[in-house]
Amino acid sequence: MALRAAVFIDKDGTLVHDVPYNVDVAKVRLREDAGPALARLQAAGYALVLVSNQPGVAKQLFDEADLEPVWADIRQRLSRHGVALEAVYWCPHHPYGGHPRYGSECDCRKPRPGLLLRAAAERGFDLARSWLIGDILDDVEAGRRAGCRTVLLDVGSETEWESGPWRQPDGVAASLTAAAEHIAAAPPIPESLPWTR
């Protein structure tokens, strides 16, 4: 069976306006063009997957269960545009968190690629044909380390611009609409053949 391609989308600052450590659905605001932009990617055949660092769990600012209404709210808002998020993967860890289970290093906190690798393994995504959209270079690095192409949503979130071999995005976009356009216009990568996987 052919593997599918995904677009991995960062949440805070990318899909929604960033409110640090927020789990109050009343404060969740999608970017204005999020619905149409994601609808376009979905129509192009991409599975849509959120990938989010949520260190507030490790820092004991909220529980994992407190995130569920946030994901449900985002799904519902997107559904008004005909967009179905396939899945949400999040990292609850932080190396300096006080949480007994999550206050540690992990392989899934971006810039590490664990969230994307897990999603691909569980859901059958071809990472080489997949993309990541994020608003900081740590997102770009996670995407590239997973073997995806990446678009940096340049909306002022990145302030350090630490360079590195994994931190060059394939595209830079000022809006989700432009990010979706970049992905739609990029040359397709052929489906990987089973014996090359």
Interacting residues with Mg ion (CB under 5 A):
10, 12-13, 135
Report the alpha-carbon distance of residue 195 to residue 96 in Å, rounded: 42
- Cβ closest to Mg ion, residue 13 vs residue 103: 13
Q: Which stretch binds Zn ion (CB under 5 A): 60-68, 104-112, 142-150, 180-188?
A: 104-112
| Shortest distance in whole angstroms from residue 120 CB to Zn ion | 16
Q: Return the residue of 106, 128, 172, 178 that touches Zn ion, per CB under 5 A.
A: 106
- Cβ closest to Zn ion, residue 14 vs residue 53: 53
Q: Which DSSP string corresponds to the chain?
A: -PPBPEEEE-TBTTTB---TT---GGG--B-TTHHHHHHHHHHTT-EEEEEEE-TTTTTTSS-HHHHHHHHHHHHHHHHTTT----EEEEE---TT---TTTSS--S-STTS-HHHHHHHHHHTB-GGG-EEEESSHHHHHHHHHTT-EEEEE-SS---S----TT---SEEESSHHHHHHHHHHSPPPPPPPGGG-
- Residue 108 binds Zn ion, judged by CB under 5 A: yes
Residue 10 binding: pick among Zn ion, Mg ion, none (C-beta 5-8 Å cut-off by kind) = Mg ion
Q: Return the residue of 40, 94, 109, 110 that touches Zn ion, per CB under 5 A.
A: 109
Q: Which stretch binds Zn ion (CB under 5 A): 64-72, 91-99, 126-134, 171-179?
A: 91-99
- Residue 110 binds Zn ion, judged by CB under 5 A: no
Contact of 123 with 47, CB cutoff 8 Å: yes
User: In the Cβ-directed half-sphere of 78, how many Cα atoms lie within 13 Å?
Assistant: 27
Amino acid at 98: G
- Cβ closest to Mg ion, residue 140 vs residue 183: 140
Instruction: Count residues binding Zn ion (CB under 5 A).
Output: 5
- Residue 93 binds Zn ion, judged by CB under 5 A: yes
Q: Which stretch binds Zn ion (CB under 5 A): 38-46, 83-91, 138-146, 189-197?
A: 83-91
- Residue 99 binds Zn ion, judged by CB under 5 A: no
- Cβ closest to Mg ion, residue 126 vs residue 138: 138
What is the contact surface with Zn ion in residues (CB under 5 A)? 91, 93, 106, 108-109
